[in-house]
């Protein structure tokens, strides 16, 4: 164990002010005003965001970073941050971290503030692509196996925490990075504060988990919680704070007097968000194992987390590349009145049919992709949608084509529906839809020896040791078949009980879904430990795959997380290509967890009543 005796008692307080580019402007001011933080960290770079930033840099080379970080967040708090000695770490640099740092330096000069800014570089691996095209074995996309595209816009490796640690060691007040794993902005702080080293695998896993919990902002304080109606004061919801110790344990909380709630269920949902195998969560600094993590209430809006384990990292970085693949656009119309859903569907089919004929006449060729959805008619539930007599529905059409002029023709042919076909057609007041390049993501692995992370402060470069690595697979194991080892009360056999009833899963579990490329994961947490055998029996891979078959085209794998009484379902080919490539309204699978929570399960009525009214359930939702 690293650190002195005083280190073991010391607490480092880190506030998570942003979960994505576009998060609320209230986060940073709220956390700074609370007086409860030593560090302020921002996460801006969702996989979708990298595609957006690539598009922004296409239009203006000086852009490509999360401009809100400078013009909104730091503009509001910079003076207070410097006065209070709060240090800031942000991956707002996107595909242009130096541009972000330059803009921040200009803001500091405008406010008359001296500011030491560090820039982390080295994640841009675009210059390596020519040699990678000649590599043997050839580069392949992680999920689809496709070869490297010809026209790549950006290619950025997910760096780890060591460059951030080095920047803080060099007394930087603000650290701006490009692409790094989301949790690294927090882990880098803890490595600096507690002197954690690359071989401290359990500590690195614990610090990564702390970062993972706060990397999505209010999702750690009640945002997106299954029991949303129990979360108070949404307008004033608190942003998360982790109070971390040198032994890797930490407490999740929020600023005093703010809305939201912090309970084991809330934090557990976030722990499972956007991960795959929970026993082998691959990060640049460590392979983290969350299967035996314990999450316990430690006071009002205070949850203690401990028990993460780690193993040496792999020899590769994940690289997220973007490339242009034709063009895309989307349009919406609102249909009002009797048979609104049927009218909406027929309208959409008519638009696609008419434009398809026009494309042929102009020699454009066929659409490369189409998606027709009727919002308000439970389209995303597929065969599980309930029959409704809604008298208001929204037709959504999303399309792609290799030629821009074809989609401009499509955009012109949407509004005529307002006078040509269904009565009650309206809602095209937003104007004609615009056509934009269809930017797709392409993920692959790259040997760490080919990447050289660096830190620059005031024009001086600081070398950063390469991330530690071990051969891929040297420590691999899966929790997929791990048996539940947690002590549980006697369980209920749903089939054997005479009073067994069928209820939706939401009565028995919490759930949250997330995305990684074209893969969706759905974390499911039992509302009571005694429910685990029942859920294990009924929520099989085959049954979940069948329930989600209208959305999921690849395999479904189930992993167990016995430490918190949970399962993680990883669904491949689940998002219509994922990110900006997907034509779905729910391109990021945010609704997948809700759809799974509607699956019927059988349970004893008497026992269910005990669970729902018992002290355990009440304590979890206090």
How many domains, the chain? 3
Q: Is 68 helix (H, G, I), strand (E, B) or coil?
A: helix
574 occurs within a structural domain: yes
Whether 413 and 507 map to the same domain: the answer is no
Torsion, Cα 7 255 274 152, to 10 degrees, reads -90
Backbone angles phi, psi at 257, to 5 degrees: 80, 5
471 occurs within a structural domain: no
Cα(205)–Cα(460) distance, integer angstroms? 31
**What confidence tier does 389 reach under pLDDT thresholds 50, 70, 90?**
confident
151 occurs within a structural domain: no
What are the structure tokens assigned to 95, written together?
């595909």
553 occurs within a structural domain: yes
Contact 234, 35 (CB under 8 A): no
- What's the angle, vertex CA 40, arms to CA 21 and CA 249, rounded to 5? 110
Whether 213 and 73 map to the same domain: the answer is yes
Please name every residue paired with 502 in a beta bridge, in sequence order, or none if there are none.
602
Whether 300 and 353 map to the same domain: the answer is no
Whether 522 and 607 map to the same domain: the answer is yes
Which among 313, 346, 370 is the end of a domain?
313
**What confidence tier does 257 reach under pLDDT thresholds 50, 70, 90?**
very high
Which among 313, 339, 371 is the end of a domain?
313
Whether 180 and 328 map to the same domain: the answer is no
Contact 511, 593 (CB under 8 A): yes
Cα(285)–Cα(459) distance, integer angstroms? 27
134 occurs within a structural domain: no
Which among 313, 337, 355 is the end of a domain?
313
Contact 580, 438 (CB under 8 A): yes
Contact 122, 159 (CB under 8 A): yes
What are the structure tokens assigned to 17, written together?
């002010």
Whether 279 and 349 map to the same domain: the answer is no
Nearest one of 69, 66, 43, 82 to 240, comparing CA atoms: 43
460 occurs within a structural domain: no
Asked whether the predicted pLDDT for residue 429 surpasses 60, the reply is yes
Per the structure, the complete domain to which residue 580 belongs is given by: 500-620
Report the pLDDT averaged over residues 197-226.
98
How many other C-beta atoms lie within 10 A of the C-beta of residue 34?
A: 18
CATH code: domain of residue 335: 3.30.300
Length of the chain (residues)? 622
Whether 38 and 173 map to the same domain: the answer is yes
Please name every residue paired with 576 in a beta bridge, in sequence order, or none if there are none.
none
492 occurs within a structural domain: no
Whether 60 and 194 map to the same domain: the answer is yes
Whether 389 and 306 map to the same domain: the answer is no
Please report how many Cα atoms fall inside a 13 Å half-sphere around the Cα of residue 392, on the Cβ side.
2
Contact 319, 443 (CB under 8 A): yes
DSSP codes, 334-362: EEESTTHHHHHHHHHHHHHHHHHHHHHHH
**CB-based burial of residue 361 (10 Å sphere; 0-12 exposed, 13-18 middle, 19+ buried)?**
exposed
Whether 307 and 172 map to the same domain: the answer is yes
Whether 78 and 175 map to the same domain: the answer is yes
119 occurs within a structural domain: yes
pLDDT at 359: 98
Whether 168 and 291 map to the same domain: the answer is yes
pTM, 2 dp: 0.93
Asked whether the predicted pLDDT for residue 349 surpasses 70, the reply is yes
Backbone angles phi, psi at 324, to 5 degrees: -85, 135
Report the pLDDT averaged over residues 132-153.
92
**570-597 pLDDT, tens digit each:** 999 999 998 888 999 999 999 999 999 9
Cα(387)–Cα(413) distance, integer angstroms? 30
**477-529 pLDDT, tens digit each:** 445 544 444 444 445 555 556 789 999 999 999 999 999 989 999 999 999 99
Asked whether the predicted pLDDT for residue 616 surpasses 60, the reply is no
Cα(390)–Cα(376) distance, integer angstroms? 8
């Amino acid at each position: 164990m690293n650190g002195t005796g005083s280190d073991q008692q010391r607490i480092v307080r880190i506030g998570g002010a942003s979960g994505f580019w576009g998060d609320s402007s209230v986060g940073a001011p709220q956390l700074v005003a609370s007086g409860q933080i030593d560090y302020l960290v921002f996460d801006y770079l969702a996989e979708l965001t990298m595609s957006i930033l690539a598009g922004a840099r296409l239009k203006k080379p000086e852009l490509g970073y999360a401009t809100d970080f400078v013009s909104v967040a730091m503009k509001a708090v910079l003076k207070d941050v410097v006065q209070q000695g709060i240090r800031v770490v942000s991956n707002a640099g996107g595909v242009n971290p130096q541009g972000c740092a330059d803009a921040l330096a200009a803001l500091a000069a405008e406010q008359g503030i001296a500011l030491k800014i560090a820039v982390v570089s080295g994640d841009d691996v675009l210059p390596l692509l020519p040699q990678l095209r000649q590599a043997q074995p050839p580069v392949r996309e992680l999920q689809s196996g496709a070869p490297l595209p010809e026209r790549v816009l950006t290619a950025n490796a997910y760096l780890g925490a060591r460059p951030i640690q080095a920047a803080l060691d060099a007394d930087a007040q603000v650290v701006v990075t490009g692409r790094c794993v989301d949790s690294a902005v927090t882990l880098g702080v803890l490595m600096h504060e507690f002197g954690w080293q690359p071989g401290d695998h359990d500590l690195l896993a614990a610090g990564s988990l702390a970062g993972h919990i706060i990397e999505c902002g209010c999702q750690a304080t009640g945002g997106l919680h299954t029991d949303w109606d129990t979360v108070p004061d949404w307008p004033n919801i608190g942003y998360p704070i982790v109070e971390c110790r040198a032994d890797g344990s930490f407490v999740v909380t929020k600023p005093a007097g703010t809305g939201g709630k912090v309970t084991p269920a809330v934090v557990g949902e976030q722990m499972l968000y956007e991960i795959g195998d929970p026993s082998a969560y691959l990060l640049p600094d460590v392979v983290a194992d969350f299967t035996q993590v314990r999450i316990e209430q430690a006071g009002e809006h205070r949850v203690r987390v401990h028990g993460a384990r780690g193993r040496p990292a792999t020899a590769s970085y994940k690289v997220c590349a973007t490339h242009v693949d034709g063009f895309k656009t989307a349009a919406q119309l609102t249909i009002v009145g009797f048979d609104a859903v049927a009218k909406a569907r027929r309208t959409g089919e008519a638009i696609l049919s008419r434009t398809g004929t026009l494309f042929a006449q102009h020699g454009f060729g066929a659409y490369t992709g189409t998606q027709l959805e009727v919002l308000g008619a439970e389209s995303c539930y597929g065969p599980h949608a309930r029959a409704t007599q809604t008298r208001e529905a929204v037709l959504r059409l999303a399309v792609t084509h290799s030629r821009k002029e074809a989609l401009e023709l499509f955009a012109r042919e949407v509004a005529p529906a307002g006078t040509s076909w269904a009565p009650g057609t309206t809602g095209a007041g937003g104007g004609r839809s615009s056509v934009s390049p269809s930017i797709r993501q392409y993920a692959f692995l790259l040997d760490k020896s080919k990447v050289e992370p660096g830190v620059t402060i005031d024009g001086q470069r600081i070398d950063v040791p390469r991330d530690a690595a071990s051969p891929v697979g040297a420590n691999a194991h899966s929790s997929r078949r791990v048996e539940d080892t947690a002590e549980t009360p006697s369980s209920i056999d749903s089939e054997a009980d005479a009073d067994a009833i069928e209820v939706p899963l939401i009565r028995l579990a919490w759930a949250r879904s997330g995305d990684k490329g074209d893969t969706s994961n759905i974390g499911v947490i039992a509302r009571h430990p005694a429910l685990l055998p029942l859920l294990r029996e009924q929520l099989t891979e085959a049954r979940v795959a069948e329930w989600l078959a209208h959305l999921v085209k690849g395999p479904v794998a189930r992993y167990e997380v016995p430490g918190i009484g949970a399962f993680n379902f990883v669904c491949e080919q689940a998002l219509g290509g994922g990110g900006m490539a997907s034509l779905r309204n729910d391109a990021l699978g945010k609704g997948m967890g809700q759809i799974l929570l509607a699956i019927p399960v059988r349970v004893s009525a008497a026992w269910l009543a005990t669970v729902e009214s018992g002290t355990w359930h009440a304590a979890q939702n206090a």
